[in-house]
Amino acid sequence: MRDDEAVTGWALAARGGDERAVEQFVRATQLDVRRYVTHLSGDPQATDDLVQDTYVRALRSLPGFEGRSSARTWLLTIARRVVADRFRSQAVRPRLAATEDWQSAAERAQPRGVPGFDEGVALAELLTALGPERREAFVLTQLLGLPYAAAAGVMGCPVGTVRSRVARARETLIARLTEAEGARDSVPGGPPRELAGAAA
């Protein structure tokens, strides 16, 4: 759901203890939160925990939400902090073992043949070609549909910086798609043409 006014209204109603408003707020925003933390963290296995942590923090902070920005922008700012906190905690925690084996097993266990699955995988692979800042700006504005000003608020940088990062991200993605198109013409089974729309 993209109606920021309605989402903000539900968040404001939820502040007063309206359980139905809480449910509507979560339902309307959870897909955006999920996509954002997945791309931002680069760790699909951690997505569920990151989403849950985001909503725990958001619901605790809801009484302080005054509606100065849209509730979706406010929530994605919280999600960004949750991911940053996860990175910090992992940086100080010692690793017990290499993770390649279980990651490969988890990837092999993912469902295949689901409509849109291949396109989603191809887009995720293309996005890994971007630096973290450009990827975040692209995901916020092009995949989640945030206005540039709202994305700048989430990222804590000027609007012009967001515009520049998105423009450079598009250039990189278009170049990668062009390379992939050339490779696909010579090798069967290249990335789907539909992805060009997301980068263009």
CATH code (residue 117): 1.10.10.10
pLDDT for the residue numbered 108: 45
Residues 117 and 103 in one domain: no
* ∠ CA 184-190-195, rounded to 5°: 110
Q: How distant, in Å, are the alpha carbons of 18, 53, 175 from that of 56?
A: 16, 5, 40
Q: How distant, in Å, are the alpha carbons of 20, 21, 178, 190 from that of 34?
A: 21, 20, 29, 27
**Res. 117 pLDDT band, cuts 50 70 90:** very low
Residues 105 and 84 in one domain: yes
Residues 76 and 133 in one domain: no
Could you list the residue range(s) of the whole structural domain that residue 163 is in?
113-200
Question: Taking Cα atoms as reference points, which of 145, 136, 147 lies closest to residue 2?
Answer: 145
Question: What is the arithmetic mean of pLDDT over 131-146?
Answer: 87
pLDDT for the residue numbered 62: 92
- Give the pLDDT confidence of 142-184 residue by residue, as tens digits: 888 889 998 999 999 999 999 999 999 888 888 888 887 777 6
Residues 19 and 1 in one domain: yes
Place of tokens 């849209």: 70
Residues 64 and 87 in one domain: yes
| pTM strictly above 0.75 | no
Out of 110, 138, 164, a domain closes at: 110
Out of 110, 131, 160, a domain closes at: 110
> Among 35-39, 79-83, 178-182, where is mean pLDDT lowest?
178-182
pLDDT for the residue numbered 123: 65
**Residues 145, 138: Cα–Cα separation, whole Å:** 9
**Residues 122, 27: Cα–Cα separation, whole Å:** 27
Structure tokens at 149: 């000003």
- Average pLDDT of the chain, as a whole number: 79
Instruction: Look at the chain and report how many structural domains it folds into.
Output: 2
- Give the pLDDT confidence of 99-116 residue by residue, as tens digits: 444 444 444 444 444 444
**Residues 165, 46: Cα–Cα separation, whole Å:** 26
Residues 122 and 95 in one domain: no
**Residues 120, 141: Cα–Cα separation, whole Å:** 17
Residues 129 and 30 in one domain: no
The dihedral built from the CA positions of residue 175, 41, 91 and 155, taken in this order, carries a sign that is: positive
Q: Considering only CA atoms, give the Rg of the chain.
A: 18
